[in-house]
Amino acid sequence: MPPDEDSDPAMTGTSEAGVNMERRGVRIVDTFAEAFDMRAARVLITANTLGWARTGAQTMTGFATSVIGCKVEAGIEAELAPENTPDGRPGISVLLFGFDADGLSHRLLDRIGQTILTCPTTACFDGLPGAAERVNVGGQLRHFGDKFQSSKSLNGHRYWRIPVMDGEFLIEEKFGVQKAIGGGNFLILGMDQDRALAAAEAAVEAMRKVHGVILPFPGGMVRAGSKVGAKNYKKLSASTNDAYCPTLRGRSGVKSELPDNVNSVLEIVVDGLDREAIENSMRVGIEAACRPGIVEITAGNYGGKLGKHHFRLHALMATA
């Protein structure tokens, strides 16, 4: 049966196993999201206008949804007012997540080199100045200057000035890398596609206000949730999450996890600089997603065997 849209918004149980929790009639499954250790960098992109900073940031964070397929997960963290950027211009903060600092440094070099260096009026700064681990990015990218580049040091930071056709591209020499967590998630199980999408959009809007997280998938959500490996193609490392595909309900070999009245599922994946940021974003996201037409909120995990960070939905929402 679909949920009662007028039901009590309060929790109807506790986080004890087997006891229901509801938000505005939406069932919160007593399960957990399983997330992993990652390394993160924060890049501050500034430009003459916020529009050009955003253009650079969007280009830089394109094709960066999954570290498995794209070697990096990246997204826009926040817009920055001129008073909050190093050069006093409007800016965008971008977070990038990788498995290790070495890999991340290569991705930073590739992406800044191809998307920010090339973007009119932009400059690029480290957004994690307190991070102990540093990777050399500007110091590598300077070679594009073909020995016409020059550097400036100010307040303990070194910057490279690379001559380009619209003037100069300015980039900080080193970028901080810190421990982070990737793969926080929850799934929104809706009665139909429109309402699942509307709930996911509401969740994304709320989650993007939280500092220190990104939602790396298109529009902040993913429809192609995956399982580890594949049942029929042994060489695949990941394949469709058949248990949550509505069209596979009742199909032989599929153990559907979907209630009968669920016909569309969207997943929100969140990467964060620390556990608190992910918890805060999941909490506000789930809260926003609990709206008419949504049956259930659940989360993806691997039985707790792969990732050491577990985000229990009931514990999260008990403090909402």
Partner 1 sequence: MIILTLKEQPVVPLESEVLSPDVTLSLSNAAIRALPVYLGKTQRRVEDFFTVEGEASDEIEIRGDAKQVKWIGRGMSRGRVKVVGNAGMHTGAYMKGGSIEVTGNVSDWLGGEMSDGFIRVGGNAGGQIGAAYRGSRGGMRNGTIIIGGTAGLEVGMRMKRGTIVIGGLVRDFAGLEMKGGTIVLLSGAELRTGAWMNRGTIVSLVPIPLLPSFMYAATYNPSFLRLYAKHLRTLGITIPDDPHDGGYQRYTGDTSIPGRGEILVWKPHAS
- Give the shortest CB-169-to-partner 1 separation in angstroms: 8
Which tokens sit at 200?
A: 């996911």
User: Does the footprint of partner 1 cover residue 138 (CB under 8 A)?
Assistant: no
Given the DSSP bridges, would you call strands 26-28 and 294-298 parallel, antiparallel or unpaired?
Answer: parallel
User: Does the footprint of partner 1 cover residue 219 (CB under 8 A)?
Assistant: no
* CA distances from residue 37 to 139, 182, 308 in whole angstroms, order as listed: 27, 6, 8
**Count of residues that bind partner 1 according to CB under 8 A:** 17
User: Does the footprint of partner 1 cover residue 142 (CB under 8 A)?
Assistant: no
Residue number, 156 or 303, with CB nearest to partner 1: 156
- Give the shortest CB-144-to-partner 1 separation in angstroms: 15
Residue choice 27, 39, 42, 89 for contact with partner 1 (CB under 8 A): 89
Instruction: Write out the binding residues for partner 1, residues 152-171 only, by CB under 8 A.
Output: 152-155, 159, 161, 167-170
CB 159 within 8 A of CB 265: no
Q: Which stretch binds partner 1 (CB under 8 A): 3-11, 54-62, 148-156, 189-197?
A: 148-156
Residue number, 89 or 208, with CB nearest to partner 1: 89
- Distance from C-alpha of 288 to C-alpha of 273, rounded to nearest angstrom: 22
Residue number, 153 or 247, with CB nearest to partner 1: 153
Residue choice 44, 104, 123, 128 for contact with partner 1 (CB under 8 A): 123
- Give the shortest CB-84-to-partner 1 separation in angstroms: 11
Q: Which stretch binds partner 1 (CB under 8 A): 34-42, 145-153, 191-199, 264-272?
A: 145-153
- Give the shortest CB-89-to-partner 1 separation in angstroms: 7
Query: Which residues sit opposite 296 in a β-bridge?
Result: 27, 189
Q: Is 213 exposed, middle or buried (0-12, 13-18, 19+ CB in 10 A)?
A: buried
Residue number, 38 or 170, with CB nearest to partner 1: 170
Instruction: Write out the binding residues for partner 1, residues 46-65 only, by CB under 8 A.
Output: 48
Name the amino acid, one letter, at 39: R
Q: Which stretch binds partner 1 (CB under 8 A): 81-89, 93-101, 135-143, 307-315?
A: 81-89
Which tokens sit at 198?
A: 């509307």
- Give the shortest CB-86-to-partner 1 separation in angstroms: 6
User: Does the footprint of partner 1 cover residue 87 (CB under 8 A)?
Assistant: yes
* CA distances from residue 42 to 15, 25, 140, 189 in whole angstroms, order as listed: 35, 38, 18, 32
CB 313 within 8 A of CB 286: yes
Sign of the alpha-carbon torsion through 320, 298, 290, 280: positive
Residue number, 44 or 207, with CB nearest to partner 1: 44
Residue number, 157 or 227, with CB nearest to partner 1: 157
User: Does the footprint of partner 1 cover residue 150 (CB under 8 A)?
Assistant: yes
- Give the shortest CB-170-to-partner 1 separation in angstroms: 4
Q: Which stretch binds partner 1 (CB under 8 A): 85-93, 199-207, 240-248, 254-262?
A: 85-93
The footprint of partner 1 (CB under 8 A) covers 48, 86-89, 123, 150, 152-155, 159, 161, 167-170
